[in-house]
């Protein structure tokens, strides 16, 4: 569901922003970090529970304000489904309550 929403926003230039779901341990390869900024954001969010990560990034000659928010394991369904999923890679963590499982990354173009 989330990815469908993200795809819709990506295609709607008038919305003026884009968001995506990222993780260092993605069940879907498409959700792995795609820039140095995203790697830095995921490392920061994991090391600093309860905080968000903000910055600026240049992609393809365009500048963006980028905000990354932690996606945490709050309801039990999060970690039970992920920990048992067949797409888990070899280094996949055993997620538990309150773990930062990934990040929601929002990009807003700057002029």
Task: State the nearest-atom distance from the C-beta of 110 to ligand HEC, in Å.
Answer: 26
53 to 92, contacts with ligand HEC by CB under 6 A? 71-75, 77-78, 81-82, 85
Q: Is 3 a residue that touches ligand HEC (CB under 6 A)?
A: yes
List C-alpha distances in Å: 30 to 7, 33, 64, 71, 76: 12, 8, 21, 17, 24
Q: Is 33 a residue that touches ligand HEC (CB under 6 A)?
A: no
Which residues, other chains included, contact 56 with Cβ-Cβ below 8 Å and sequence gap of 6+? 63, 64, 65, 66, 110
Q: Is 16 a residue that touches ligand HEC (CB under 6 A)?
A: no
* Cβ 61 vs Cβ 46: under 8 Å: no
Q: Point out the residue whose Cβ comes nearest to ligand HEC.
A: 102
* Cβ 74 vs Cβ 65: under 8 Å: no
Nearer to ligand HEC, 7 or 110 (CB): 7
Residue ranges binding ligand HEC (CB under 6 A) = 3, 21, 23, 26-28, 31, 71-75, 77-78, 81-82, 85, 101-102
């Amino acid at each position: 569901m989330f990815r469908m929403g993200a795809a819709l926003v990506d295609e709607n230039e008038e919305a003026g922003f884009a968001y995506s779901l990222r993780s260092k341990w993605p069940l879907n390869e498409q959700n792995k970090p795609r820039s140095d900024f995203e790697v830095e954001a995921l490392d920061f969010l994991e090391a600093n529970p309860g905080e968000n990560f903000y910055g600026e990034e240049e992609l393809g000659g365009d500048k963006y304000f980028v905000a990354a928010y932690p996606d945490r394991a709050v309801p039990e369904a999060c970690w039970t489904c992920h920990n048992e999923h067949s797409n888990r890679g070899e280094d996949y963590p055993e997620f538990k309550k309150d773990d930062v499982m990934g990040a929601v990354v929002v990009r807003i173009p700057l002029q």
